[in-house]
Amino acid sequence: MESSQSKRSASFSEQTSQPLSEKDMEELQSTLPPDKKLKAGREYIWNRKSKRKAEYWKYYLEYVENGKLRAECKFCPKTFAADGNLNGSKNVKNHAESCLDNPINIEKEKGKEKQTKLYFDQEHESGELKCGSRIINLNDVREALVHMIIVDELPFKHVEKPGFRHFVQVACPQFHIPSRVTIARDCLKLYYSEKEKLREMFKTCQRISVTTDTWTSIQRINYMCLTAHFIDNDWKLNKKIINFCPISSHKGEAIGKAVEACLEYWGIDDKLFTVTVDNASSNDVACAHLSRMVRRTGCINDGKNLHVRCIAHIINLIVWDGIKEHGVCIDRVRNAVKYVKNSPARILRFKDLVQKANIDSKSSLSFDVPTRWNSTYIMLEKALKFRRVFSGLSLPDGEDLNDNERPPEPED
């Protein structure tokens, strides 16, 4: 008695000896998606009365290769051994349920990401509960998590903290919390996405103005920040940071080359309108370098009005010149504040005197810093509230002190 395998092989040879007609090929092609074509030279088998009863077989084409039966997915190039006696059908079934090119599976995946939730809203006046429903998209939840990490400047490991995981399990149990590696990858993916959107916005802009500033970190590393200002097609003013990078030095030539490289990277070197910087001499050299660049790429008035000086910085210089007229008074207040804040015991003594003087103020003394332009005003404003308290403190005084190191007087 012949084995079932030999009978199947005989049936294969019988079918392959009779190729499919053109009509059969056209009918077989009609069962495929529009972008899928039958492969030339492949010996397809199309038995309208197939004994395959499983539902997933309708997503496959059967063909014979080297005397062996194989199955070809109708939606992707993958093929599988399809002889039920030799190979089984597990691989064929698993692929049919997971092939992402199959429209049926795409709809299933969309359904997995969304879930309708029943909720109750309480009306504060009547106390009644209103029942409703809404669809929760888990992809939107994940995007919101990425947005929170970026906007709130949280560390990536925040998603692995017990408190956060407990909160998510209570708020949305169906949401699978990604690891810190995955959330970092999602943040980088969002960065590249927003970067391409910004690049497309730049293509529609006619002119772009930039502002830049440099500083040195506590690690003694020089940094430069470059911000683009432009009006979009909806006549809205936009401000976008297009570069934040270390630079070799604060010299004007280094700044100019760094700005030029960034503009060329974004493809906006021919759209530069103005460059706004402070009054540092190095910025004059940087703007001169950029003026030579725009003469090559094209700019309004050949870049003669390219350099714009920061009005805020100019006003700050004017204010500091005015402050120098009252430098002794300000130095006295600053030294008094420093004396109080340099000792925990003096701070407690100061607070006791504030309570005894019945001064109702939640603010405390503060220093001024050169990089914060309004900090001197804030320091004087707060010290003015506690002017009666300073007289109760034993501030340093003596003939050996300079005039600006003495305690502040009422007329100060």
Q: Write the pLDDT tens digit of every residue in 100-110.
A: 788 777 666 55
- Angle, helix 327-341 to helix 344-356, in steps of 10 degrees: 110
Contact 271, 208 (CB under 8 A): yes
65: tokens are: 């290769």
Radius of gyration of the CA atoms of the chain, in A: 37
**What are the respective helix, strand and coil percentages of the chain, to the nearest 5?**
45, 20, 35
Q: From 5, 19, 13, select the one nearest 67 (Cα to Cα).
A: 13
Give the model confidence (pLDDT) of 154-211 as tens digits. 999 999 999 999 999 888 888 889 999 999 999 999 999 999 999 999 988 889 999 9
> What does the alpha-carbon distance between residue 284 and residue 400 come to, in Å, rounded to a whole number?
45
Range name among 12-16, 257-261, 262-266, 382-386 with the lowest pLDDT average: 12-16
**Across 228-253, average pLDDT:** 92
> What does the alpha-carbon distance between residue 296 and residue 234 come to, in Å, rounded to a whole number?
30
Query: How is domain 206-309 classified at the CATH fold level?
Result: Nucleotidyltransferase; domain 5 (3.30.420)
pLDDT at 4 (0 to 100) = 44
pLDDT at 15 (0 to 100) = 44
pLDDT at 337 (0 to 100) = 85
pLDDT at 410 (0 to 100) = 66
> What does the alpha-carbon distance between residue 82 and residue 68 come to, in Å, rounded to a whole number?
8
Place of tokens 């004017």: 318
**% the chain with pLDDT above 70:** 84
pLDDT at 7 (0 to 100) = 44
Domain ranges of the chain: 4-101, 114-185, 206-309, 323-405
Q: What is the pTM of this model?
A: 0.57
Q: Is the per-residue pLDDT at 10 higher than 60? A: no
Residue 96 CB burial class (10 angstroms; 0-12, 13-18, ≥19): buried
Predicted confidence band of residue 13 (pLDDT cuts 50, 70, 90): very low
Contact 361, 384 (CB under 8 A): no
Q: List, in order, residues 6 or more apart from 47 with CB less than 8 Å away.
A: 15, 62
Instruction: Map residue 319 onto helix, strand or coil.
Output: helix
Give the model confidence (pLDDT) of 42-90 as tens digits. 888 876 566 666 788 888 888 888 888 888 998 888 888 888 777 778 8
Instruction: Map residue 150 onto helix, strand or coil.
Output: helix
- Strand 307-309 to 272-277 pairing: parallel
224: tokens are: 């430069």
Give the model confidence (pLDDT) of 340-378 as tens digits. 888 888 888 888 888 888 877 777 888 888 777 788 888
pLDDT at 18 (0 to 100) = 60
Arithmetic mean of pLDDT over the chain: 81
- Give bridge partners of residue 275 from the DSSP assignment: 210, 307
pLDDT at 276 (0 to 100) = 93
> How open is the CA angle 41-76-176, to the nearest 5 degrees?
165
